[in-house]
Structure 1
Amino acid sequence: MSKNSKDTAGLTLAERIEGSLNGFFGRNKKTLIVVALIVVVGLATLGIVLSVSQNNLQEQFNEIDQLEASYVELQAMGSDNEAYQETYDELVASLTDLAGKGSKYPSQKAEYLLGMIAFQDEAYQKAIDSFLSVYSNADGSYLGSLALANAAAAAEELGNDSLALEYYTKIIDEFGFTAAESPKALFGQARLQEKSGNTELAKATFQQLADQFPTSEFAKLAINRVALL
């Protein structure tokens, strides 16, 4: 039996494992130090990236707050104001720039405001494009249902009732009765069903609206419509 065998024969399993680990660390000390440094640098870099990303996102939130305030000011200004066109151009340029910076809330809100501006300019197809872009990136947030409701209104302005009905239906199908736009969506459905001659379905939808949202302003209108059908 070798001397090493004699030395280790009386050791416990834990002692033998500890000896093996010490030997491993001794033989690979430099490699382990390098690996540790790489891990530390990697974590530090990740922390910097996350910090920069968070700062950028906060800047975008601040920016959209300012742009939304500018949008409100523009509505109050009126198109006959001498500064209107310059303010309009600057706002649209800033909103377009922010809308192109990703799919986070500030970018979605910027795209939504572009849709609102296009709607007011009677550029209804452009408005629909913006609203649908918001809807596709909203991931179930309130902006999604809001954008669909506005897309439906723009489709009606274009005379495309079937498309408007599709958007109103999407609100109910995808958001149920929890969205703030749900009463409006049901009313829009019923109104367009009645317009297309589908009286019985329209009556049922008006009644569903009255039953589901009895305190809504749309419910009162729905009850009146049911009485007339």
Structure 2
Amino acid sequence: MKLEATSALVTGGGSGLGAATARLLARHGAMVHVFDRNREAAEAVAAEIGGVAVFGDVTSEADAAAALDVANAAGDGLRILVNCAGIGLAGRILGKAGPLPLADFETVIRINLVGSFNMLRLAAERMAGLAERDDKARGVIVNTASVAAFEGQIGQAAYAASKGGIVAMALPAAREFARFGIRVNTIAPGIFMTPLLANLPTEAQESLAAAIPFPARLGDPAEFADAVRFAVENNYLNGEVIRLDGAIRLQPK
């Protein structure tokens, strides 16, 4: 799927991996819609890249549909969805204060997994009604998982479960959408320099980086964005989960 003059929507586009992705897509000519629940952040990124800010919650059917409709009205319709919205919440299943509150588990699952599924299903509905492009393609969806989906650490049960669900969803979604010419891929990043990690002390950042075989540093969000570009532009890549992690394998804790 070409990027130039193509309508794209990036969830969580107001910061971190989502903002880096929005910037890269815009640099390559895409008409980028920055979807975030933080209105100011979405507006700032959209103003920077010449895109469109849309606001709302990825878990809300109404908010998601409204944002997707805006993107679908641009160009020849919504062709690219990149799901970057998500949260991390640490907590042992059985901690000193007792079991992990069920509400905490449900919140992580709802935002990370249900939110991604909500956007995917509604975007696919719109893409399926568009005219075919080259190679009978109509659209492409890129989801964001995590290496925690494969090696969840102690305290990451909720987060790992949410990202594991995103990994498991890639292939059945790709198979189902094949008849519409819609591809689905997933990127599983390792430890990246997101706003959350940027607030950690230098010593903590260096400790995290030392665990990464090569390159021994935190990932640059621009590198994640470049992987998204590859997943969008390579029309033969479908149903795949790409680890982007410097060969790290997470230890138990």
RCO greater where, 1 or 2, for CA within 8 Å and sep 6 or more? 2
TM-score by length of 1: 0.24
TM-score by length of 2: 0.23
- Tell me which protein shows more strand as a share of its residues: 2
- Tell me which protein shows more helix as a share of its residues: 1
Larger-gyration structure (1/2): 1
